[in-house]
């Protein structure tokens, strides 16, 4: 089994981005600037946003973190978004999900200017992606595509099973892998909570993308010998031996999968860092596109 090391690959891409920022600075151009809006104090969201801001600093991007209490109203949040949309110093921004229950996430996503939607969640970007037009790709699927590309994994003609149909991972992943593209041309099956005999589907797969949110859900007996297994899951399970009281595990039983898979992503250190670096790549792209407006 070969490990798909997202941490190492994301560091390589960060070095490439750093060089690009240095070139931009030499040319006297404004460097990319990402803003992140964090509402409430969800510990997982805090850690994701911290890692996004830290990654911006590592590559020389500007970053702005806007924090608000969980009791912010939807109107107030929409005002912040309107300000970010019109702020010419900011190339792209994200509103970290999930949001408190009293805020409609759809209204928030729709309010973001698609030109600054570096998470790729706005229906305009989603629609362009589905049609194969240039668009901001959602960060996690974009990271997975980049990983398959950089590791030279052939996808054309392969059977791919995506487990989970969320708007941010499973569904866009199924679209990207079935597109006519360098990483694509797969025959994709999108499976979900109502799928019958998931194991039979998985066993046919040359590539499995697991995005379910249930620890160790994909077991060794669901994996075909030599398959590429990409584990998107990030689940906290109690672990008293750890200082923080928990450890992170994926949606795939790593030890069992390691016995069967040809390629496998670890958790942590697989898809997570690729998601963050994809956000940086989208922000760079937003910055370049703003230059020619």
Q: Catalogue the active-site residues.
A: 52, 96, 119
How near is the Cβ of 87 to ligand NAD at its closest, in Å? 27
Q: Which of 160, 162, 211, 261 binds ligand NAD (CB under 6 A)?
A: 211
Residue 137 binds ligand NAD, judged by CB under 6 A? no
Place of tokens 């860092």: 273
Instruction: Rule CB under 6 A: choose which of 170, 172, 184, 266 binds ligand NAD.
Output: 170
Contacts of 223 (CB under 8 A, 6+ apart): 202, 203, 208, 229, 256, 257, 260, 261
Chosen residue from 30, 68, 158, 192 binding ligand NAD by CB under 6 A: 192
Binding of residue 203 to ligand NAD (CB under 6 A) = no
Query: Rule CB under 6 A: is residue 201 a binding residue for ligand NAD?
Result: no
| Position 212 contacts ligand NAD (CB under 6 A) | yes
Instruction: Say whether 279 sits in a helix, a strand or coil.
Output: helix
Minimum CB distance to ligand NAD smaller for 24 or for 212 = 212
Q: Does 236 bind ligand NAD (CB under 6 A)?
A: no
- If one asks whether residue 227 binds ligand NAD (CB under 6 A), the answer comes out as no
Under the criterion CB under 6 A, does residue 216 sit at the interface with ligand NAD?
no
Residue 291, C-beta contacts closer than 8 angstroms, at least 6 positions apart: 29
Are 221 and 174 contacting, i.e. CB atoms less than 8 angstroms apart? no
Residues in the chain, overall count = 293
Residue 108: is it exposed, middle or buried by C-beta count within 10 angstroms (0-12/13-18/19+)? buried
5 binds ligand NAD (CB under 6 A): no
Measured CA to CA, the distance from residue 205 to residue 199 in angstroms comes to 10
Q: Say which residue the tokens 């798909």 belong to.
A: 4
| 35 in contact with ligand NAD (CB under 6 A) | no
Contact pick of 10, 96, 174, 191 for ligand NAD (by CB under 6 A)? 191
CA nearest to 144, candidates 277, 43, 254: 277
Q: Which is closer to ligand NAD, CB of 24 or CB of 250?
A: 250
Instruction: Select the span of 32-40, 77-85, 153-161, 228-236 touching ligand NAD (CB under 6 A).
Output: 228-236
- CA dihedral in degrees (102, 128, 44, 18; nearest 10)? -140
Quickly tell me which residue has 């006519």 as its tokens: 180
Least distance to ligand NAD from the beta carbon of 72, Å? 23
State yes or no: residue 193 binds ligand NAD (CB under 6 A).
yes
Instruction: Compute the least distance from the CB of residue 44 to ligand NAD, in Å.
Output: 7
Distance CA 33, CA 56 (A): 8
- Cα–Cα distance between 141 and 176 in angstroms, integer? 8
| Interacting residue with ligand NAD among 183, 232, 261, 281 (CB under 6 A) | 232
Torsion angle, CA of 66/69/73/74, rounded to 10 degrees?
50
**Cα–Cα distances in Å, from 20 out to 57, 276, 284?**
14, 17, 9
The one segment of 10-18, 22-30, 160-168, 284-292 that binds ligand NAD by CB under 6 A: 160-168
For the segment 253-292, give every residue that binds ligand NAD (CB under 6 A).
Answer: 271-272, 275
Per CB under 6 A, the segment of 11-19, 72-80, 121-129, 207-215 that binds ligand NAD is: 207-215
Residues binding ligand NAD (CB under 6 A): 140, 163-166, 168-170, 191-193, 195, 198, 211-213, 232-235, 271-272, 275
């Amino acid at each position: 089994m070969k490990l798909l090391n997202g941490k190492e690959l994301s560091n390589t891409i960060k070095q490439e981005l750093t060089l690009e920022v240095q070139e931009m600075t030499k040319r006297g151009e404004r460097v990319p600037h990402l803003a992140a809006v964090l509402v409430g104090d969800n510990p997982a969201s805090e850690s994701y946003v911290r890692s996004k801001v830290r990654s911006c600093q590592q590559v020389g991007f500007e970053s702005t973190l806007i924090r608000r209490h969980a009791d912010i109203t939807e109107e107030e949040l929409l005002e912040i978004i309107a300000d970010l949309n019109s702020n010419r110093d900011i190339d792209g921004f994200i509103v970290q999900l999930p949001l408190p229950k009293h805020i409609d996430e759809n209204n928030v996503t729709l309010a973001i200017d698609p030109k600054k939607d570096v998470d790729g969640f706005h229906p305009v970007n989603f629609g362009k992606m589905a049609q194969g037009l240039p668009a901001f790709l959602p960060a996690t699927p974009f990271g997975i595509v980049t990983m398959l590309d950089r590791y030279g994994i052939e996808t054309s003609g392969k059977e791919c099973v995506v487990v989970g149909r969320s708007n941010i991972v499973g569904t866009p992943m199924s679209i990207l892998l079935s597109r006519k593209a360098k990483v694509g041309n797969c025959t994709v099956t999108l499976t979900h909570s109502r799928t019958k005999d998931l194991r039979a589907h998985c066993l046919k797969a040359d590539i499995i993308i697991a995005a379910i949110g249930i620890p160790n859900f994909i077991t060794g007996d669901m994996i075909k010998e030599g398959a590429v297994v990409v584990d998107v899951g990030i689940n906290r399970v109690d672990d008293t031996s750890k200082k923080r009281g928990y450890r992170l595990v994926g949606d795939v039983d790593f030890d069992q999968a390691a016995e069967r898979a040809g390629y496998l992503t670890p958790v942590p250190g697989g898809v997570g860092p690729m998601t963050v670096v994809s956000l940086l790549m989208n922000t760079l792209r937003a910055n370049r596109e703003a230059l020619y407006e």
